[in-house]
Structure 1
Amino acid sequence: MRSLPFSELIRKQTSVFPLLEDADVLLERRDAENVVLMRDERYRAMDGALRIAARSLALVAKANRVMAEEVLAVELPWLVWLPPEHRSEAVTELLDDLLAGVDTGYYLPFMRNLIAWKHTAQIHTDPSLVAQLTGPFQRAEFSEVQRPGNTG
């Protein structure tokens, strides 16, 4: 993948589009999310491969849910950082999101949940941070906050 500033597309689009022959192009924007340009053929190949892989896992999950969860857990080695009682919960949630993505073609909830669980696992590598986030908490440490949007 080639990276270019978004302004490059605006100023010199005739030099950007030929780059798509050999690679996808990541357009980096300062004030918004980056944009990826790719040829339709590559996009369809990637999307088709993802759908086949996800549907295959879905078929395995329907036949043997435990096996599907084990396969997903092997693919995500950072799960070992989660406390054992939370590993199964994480794998179950991720597999459910992935199967919903197969059905809808919408995988963003899966990716958001994957990132959230990975960050949670990373937090569990630091015992002092875990202790700080899990309490106990003193009532004196709390303060009242206004409801967002409340002007009164």
Structure 2
Amino acid sequence: MSVLETNLSELLNKPKLTLAGLRGARRILLRRRDDEDLVLTTAARAEQDQEVMGATSRMFVEMMRTPEGRTLVLEVLPGAFPWVCYLPAHDVREFSVELVEALGAAAELDNTAAVAQLITEWRHTAEVHADPELYAALTTDHGEDYGPVPEPGAAA
């Protein structure tokens, strides 16, 4: 995918020249000094991206309705997410189901934040399984219970 990178100030100072970059690039990445970078694209391209994401998600959801589809998804997961090799087999199956469900919901909501969060959480789970010391520290019962943990920001 072709992405043109420039500073936000270029867009502000030379808008026609900067926007002309969308003729040759699918997106313009606008770098900002003191805030999160922005991505600029045309409405038509954004709509195409959403249509493709929705179609792909619906396909995966339908595939998971069949035993062959579930098997295929499990076979391709290590290629798409190499870190799944550290997960126990039952966790790989659970990840595949949760991922497909989240993709289907994200397409309906036009919001992929939950999918990104799910992938991050499972990646971190794989990191724990990949490190025997960390796994032992997190799964060993030390016999000490310090009681309920207060909500973040709540007075202790």
Task: Tell me the TM-score normalised to structure 1 length.
Answer: 0.77
CA contact (8 A) 2:54 2:104 kept: no
Name the CA distance, whole Å, in 1 between partners of 2:102 and 2:142: 33
Aligned equivalent of 1:48 = 51
Determine which of 9, 12, 16 is the counterpart of 2:11: 9
Equivalences for residues 3-152 of structure 1 within 5 A: 3-23=5-25, 24-62=27-65, 64=66, 66-77=67-78, 78=82, 79-137=84-142, 139=144, 147-150=151-154
How far apart, CA to CA, are the structure 1 residues paired with 2:128 and 2:93? Answer: 17
Secondary structure, aligned partner of 2:39: strand
Which residue identity lines up with residue 48 of structure 1 in the other structure?
A: E
Q: Distance in 1 between matches of 2:150 and 2:117?
A: 28
Gaps of 5+ in 1: none
Structure 2 CA distance for aligned equivalents of residues 143 and 59 of structure 1? 44
Q: Could you say if the C-alpha distance between residues 96 and 26 of structure 1 is closer, same or farther in structure 2, counting changes exceeding 3 Å? A: same
Amino acid at match of 1:76: L
Question: How much is the aligned-residue C-alpha RMSD, in angstroms?
Answer: 2.8
**Structure 2: 5+ residue runs without aligned partners?**
none
Q: Are the counterparts in 2 of residues 101 and 110 from structure 1 also a CA contact under 8 Å?
A: yes
Distance 1:145 1:136, change over 3 A: closer
Alpha-carbon shift at residue 93 of structure 1 (Å)? 1.3
Do 1:72 and 1:95's aligned partners in 2 also have CA atoms closer than 8 Å? no
Amino acid across the alignment from 2:75: V
Matched letter for residue 149 of structure 1: G
Tell me how far apart the structure 2 counterparts of residues 69 and 106 of structure 1 sit (CA, whole Å).
24
Once the two structures are superposed, what CA deviation does each residue of 1:12-32 show, in whole Å capped at 9, x if it has no partner?
323311111111111123443
Q: Identity of paired residues, percent?
A: 26
Deviation at 1:85, TM superposition (A): 2.8
Q: 1:2 is paired with a residue of what secondary structure?
A: strand
